[in-house]
Amino acid sequence: MAVTTNDLRNGMTLDLPDGLFAVVEFQHVKPGKGGAFVRTKLKNVRTGAVLERTFRADERVEQAIVEKREMQLLYREGDSLVFMDATSFEQLPVPVAAVAEAARFLKDGDSAVLQLYQGEVVGVDLPAAVELAVTETEPGVQGDRVSGARKPATLETGLVVQVPLFVNVGDRVKVDTRTGEYITRA
């Protein structure tokens, strides 16, 4: 579907010749001399790379309609994650590369919103935080409460985060999915 650069909105997805991009920011500029233009910041949906690009005002661009479907992760199989649609119960194998960093926060049974473009998974929307169990870390010592001191902990998905000294194996911790950092014990 073709739209003009005057119709751009944050979050809109564009199908440009060099890939699929989401609009992060845009600014209409009308200089004193010359034609108006639109300065944008675009994020590549597949790679996450951010680039700045300038368009003429009223330039036509192709809008990509990205479908969002809530799906549940059933299991991991080789280098794929098998998701099930919550409404149709259809199973969809997704290459780990397509969900990139999100795979570090997903465990079997978790729900996520998959972004599909022409049947291809191009991204995943995760909740702001997830709860994961600690599978490996150095044991905490009674009285070891040094303010701000951290130690590495491996979580059930294989993700390694820095946690306070009092966190032990078996504890459940809340992790921020945007930064990958420990928030609190759950």
pLDDT score of 41? 93
pLDDT score of 144? 59
Considering the four listed CATH numbers 3.30.420.140, 3.40.50.620, 3.30.70.20, 2.40.50.140, the one that applies to the domain covering 129-185 is 2.40.50.140
Q: What is the CATH number of domain 2-62?
A: 2.30.30.30
Nearest to 56 by CA among 24, 30, 18, 17: 30
Considering the four listed CATH numbers 3.40.50.720, 1.10.10.1590, 3.40.120.10, 2.40.50.140, the one that applies to the domain covering 67-125 is 2.40.50.140
Could you state, in order of their start, the residue ranges of all structural domains in the chain? 2-62, 67-125, 129-185
Say if residue 40 is exposed, middle or buried (CB neighbours under 10 Å; 0-12, 13-18, 19+). buried
Sheet holding 50-56, edge to edge: 13-16, 19-29, 37-44, 50-56
Q: ∠70-74-76 over CA atoms, to 5°?
A: 120
Q: What is the DSSP-derived secondary structure letter of residue 177?
A: T
pTM of the model: 0.71
Instruction: Yes or no: say if 39 and 26 are a contact pair by the CB < 8 Å rule.
Output: yes
Tens place of pLDDT for every residue, the chain, 186 residues?
Answer: 788 888 888 888 888 888 888 898 999 888 888 888 999 999 888 777 889 999 888 888 888 888 888 888 898 888 888 889 888 888 888 888 777 778 888 888 888 888 888 888 888 888 888 888 888 888 766 665 666 778 888 888 888 888 888 888 888 999 888 888 888 887
pLDDT score of 39? 92
pLDDT score of 93? 87
